[in-house]
Amino acid sequence: MSTAQHIRVLSVTSECVPLVKTGGLADVAGALPSALTPFGIEMRTLVPGYPQVIKQLEAAHLVAQFHDLFGGSARVLEANVAGLDLLVLDAPHLYDRNAGIYLNEDGLDWADNPQRFAALSRIASEIANGALSDWRPDVLHCHDWQAGLAPYYLSKSEAADQVRSVITIHNVAFQGLTSVELITDLEIDPADFTSEGVEYFGKISTLKAGLVYADRLTTVSPTYAEELMTPEFGMGLDGVLRTRRNDLSGILNGIDEVNWSPEHDTNIKPYKTPRGKIANKKHLQEEFGLLPSDGPLCVVVSRLTDQKGLDLLLEALPTLLERGGQLALLGSGDQTLEHAFVAAAEQPNVAVKIGYDEALSHRMIAGGDAIIVPSRFEPCGLTQLYGLRYGTLPLVALTGGLADTIIPATPATLAKQVATGVQFHPVTTNALANALAKLCDLYAEEKLWSKLQRNAMAHPVGWDQSAQRYAQLYTDLTTDLK
């Protein structure tokens, strides 16, 4: 597909690879612009000017100034970093801080997060209204609660009829909730504090604002789009999403196939076929202090949270170990889970590293036989896609993007030789234990396992198809503007 016209899109995001990252949102924001270029989409990315972002701007120039943006002056800088066309909101009173981009030194939300990200949304709306002398978007593409007020501000502005808006839900569990006492500070009309507007159980929800006022809604997998419209997964917003069912699309994330390439990865011993994993597995076992074993080496690279279902893995772990399997885990998060996995590592064939190390994550996915993703809910997930790319078979829960990206090993898919992994449902300890046993059975059949690995490595995991769907969405939105 090629679009009939050139379309300008402003991507509004709180994080973006390679500038700043806390999760998958950054990967998506960093990958989309180049993926969309072949379809006639010119995307610029608006990000906050955190210190780590400002430091990476080598040839930035001033394109807009604002004297009073939620308590201080601000400016917009234009720059190109790693091929990304950036607009950086330089507002030191909001972003010049030494701790995390969302959390302070004590691990708590910055008290002024509502203003910090309302500012990002406000500037997106100002850019849509012509704040830049030489560039104006046709579409605002807003990501998660941090940009949720941008469609709202746009809807109240003169550009409401000339610029369209899209909001993407990366994880509905994070909704940008804040006290109604800030309604004036956040420049929200009190008349819009209703169940049909920005009100969410007595608070303001910036994500809900985006869902109500954006022209179109997307999320990061087709199954998650369906799940969001149910009370079980919708986190109190399922009613809003059911109302907007016809405006909601599920578009799968992809991965950066340059950065994640077993043939060219500088963190590992490169390989083109599953046989190349043998040396990487040996090195990984040595790095984690694991001895050779008859069962599969399973890896986990994850945040340690309730969402990720890793408490179930702790309970099901004996099934894997009894079959000669091994577990190597890299992650951090909930301290109770951290301590439980460290304790589990006192037994043979279990090794745990608390923290995060990007290079190590590459070595683990290259060296593992399987990657375990037992999430209770998973909007899309990227680690299972990395696993596919590297021939590391995903064992996943049947939910969200995990359901959409893995072809489960069943009698039918094995007969057709198309399976790429193992799925389990419901998300319980018993079901996960059964899936681990099944994984060990498959691993024991060497030729079958090799075929599954080849299937996985051949499975499309890039951005081509998804970029085409985003391009079509923008085209549909802007047809009446041209």
- Enumerate the domain spans of the chain: 7-254+464-481, 274-458
How confident is residue 315, by pLDDT bands cut at 50, 70 and 90?
very high
Q: What is the pLDDT of residues 80-127, one digit of tens each?
A: 999 999 999 999 999 999 999 999 999 899 999 999 999 999 999 999
Decide if 123 contacts 74 (C-beta within 8 A). Answer: yes
Q: What mean pLDDT do residues 175-194 have? A: 98
**Pair of tokens at residue 109:** 């939300």
**How do beta strands 139-143 and 84-90 pair?**
unpaired
Known binding-site residue numbers: 21
Q: What is the pLDDT of residues 50-87, one digit of tens each?
A: 999 999 998 899 999 999 999 999 999 999 999 999 99
394 vs 297, 333, 383, CA distance in Å?
A: 12, 22, 9
Known binding-site residue numbers for ADP-alpha-D-glucose: 21
Work out the percent of the chain whose per-residue pLDDT is above 90: 96
Q: Is residue 231 reached through a cis peptide bond, with omega within 30 degrees of 0 on the bond before it?
A: no
CATH of 7-254+464-481, one of 3.40.50.2000, 3.40.50.1370, 1.20.1070.10, 3.40.50.720: 3.40.50.2000
Question: For residue 3, is pLDDT > 60?
Answer: no
Question: For residue 4, is pLDDT > 70?
Answer: no
How confident is residue 23, by pLDDT bands cut at 50, 70 and 90?
confident
**pTM for this predicted structure:** 0.93
Note the pLDDT of residue 482: 58
* CATH superfamily membership of 274-458: Glycogen Phosphorylase B; (3.40.50.2000)
Q: What is the pLDDT of residues 352-389, one digit of tens each?
A: 999 989 999 999 999 999 999 999 999 999 999 999 99
Question: For residue 1, is pLDDT > 80?
Answer: no
**Pair of tokens at residue 387:** 């696993």
Note the pLDDT of residue 481: 76
